[in-house]
Amino acid sequence: MSVRPYKKIHRRKSRQIFVGKVPVGGDSPITVQSMTNTLTSDIKSTITQIHDLQSAGADIVRVSCPDEESTSALKEIVREVEVPLVADIHFHYRRAIEAAEAGAACLRLNPGNIGSHRKVLEVVKAAKDNNCSMRIGVNAGSLETNLLEKYGEPCPEAMIESALNSINIFEEAGFHEFKISVKASDVFLAVSAYQGLAQACDYPLHIGITEAGGLRSGTVKSSIGMGMLLWSGIGDTIRVSLSTDPVEEVKVGFELLKSLGLRHRGVNLISCPSCSRQQFNVIETVQILEERLAHITTPMTVSVIGCVVNGPGEAISTDIGFTGGGRGVHQVYITGQPHHRLKNESIVDHLVELIEEKAAEIEAGSVISKK
């Protein structure tokens, strides 16, 4: 199915860097990141969580390295996982050097709390020596003291200046393998800062609304802020910051990209909210389907609609469509066309079987997904 012009997003042109073997920026797909919340020094728990995030589709995973125990553990963790790891560094520049030597694919530095120019240069040297990329991680909650005194409060101008100051240090050191973030918990502050930074440089941007909140509120806030940026073409890698299981961050991240047509992974499930016209229990059916289809990574679109008001129309653009009909007999669509009818008692099992078969056909290349 061709993409209509009004659905096409033109991404900002940026340089491309690599986090391990994963390209970020340029024409590469927008990557989805998350961060572990285990103690990094607890090697077994951290590896388990990284594996869970990788299974959910995370392209890059960040781990906190606040002490020597963590950077020491990082060396073993790197050997046990496939996804590239970003070492999250605050305050202690030596932790960054240790993390680079331990095999981190990327170092995240916060210019507001890392210290002097000399310390930053030492970290840059370590990144060069160990083939690490870096992220300049500006945060509205931890801006440099001189910038807060200059501007009076966190604002887009202060955040952009902080980022540009770090860019100058990196460039003077001949280092260009870095991405930048200018995060804030306030949606408008973050969006404005990213918009200004996108015009001021061509480095890849890591976007997110920091400390966004719990699963529901954080998803809404992140979708508004990151959605505005992505829709305008800004953003090369994303992290949805939620106070919940990090796996949920990855799931929400892919749903966000999927909804904008920027990246497709797994089943895009279109379903109605249900009403008195529904001919089967839509909400329960969709909840079970989401669980049963979580293992599918093949990009495809499925519609599950309770009645004939919108069901046939939605089914036209889907790989598998299901529309509620009278007397417990419903219509199944395959590739947009009416295919066969189905009774109430076998809805979920039948749809799961059809979807798995269709996913296998798409993977084999025998059919093209409408995703």
Instruction: Write out the residue limits of the CATH 3.30.413.10 domain(s) in the chain.
Output: 267-364
pLDDT tens digit sequence for 5-39: 556 789 999 999 999 999 999 999 999 999 999 99
Alpha-carbon span 195 to 191, nearest angstrom:
6
Alpha-carbon span 269 to 318, nearest angstrom:
9
Per DSSP, the three-state class of 159 is helix
Residue (of 163, 248, 257) closest to 205 by Cα position: 163
Helix (H) or strand (E) holding 285: helix 282-292
This prediction has a pTM of 0.92
What average pLDDT score do residues 249-258 get? Answer: 96
Instruction: Write out the residue limits of the CATH 3.20.20.20 domain(s) in the chain.
Output: 11-259
Alpha-carbon span 309 to 277, nearest angstrom:
9
For residue 27, what pLDDT is reported?
95
For residue 371, what pLDDT is reported?
74
Q: Is the pLDDT of residue 108 over 90?
A: yes
Helix (H) or strand (E) holding 350: helix 347-364
Tell me how long the chain is: 371
Per DSSP, the three-state class of 303 is strand
Handedness of CA 333, 334, 339, 342 (dihedral sign): negative
State the number of CA atoms in the 13 A half-sphere of 344 facing the CB: 11
Which residues, listed in sequence order, are joined to residue 87 by a DSSP beta bridge?
Answer: 63, 107
Cβ-based neighbour number of residue 21 at 10 Å:
9
CATH superfamily of 11-259: Dihydropteroate synthase-like (3.20.20.20)
For Cα atoms 258, 261, 264, give the angle at the middle one, nearest 5 degrees.
Answer: 45
What's the mean pLDDT when you consider all of the chain? 94
**Interstrand relation of 320-323 and 329-334 (parallel, antiparallel or unpaired):** antiparallel
Q: Is the pLDDT of residue 1 over 50?
A: no
Two structure tokens written together for 223:
């979708």
What average pLDDT score do residues 66-77 get? Answer: 97
CATH superfamily of 267-364: Sulfite Reductase Hemoprotein, domain 1 (3.30.413.10)
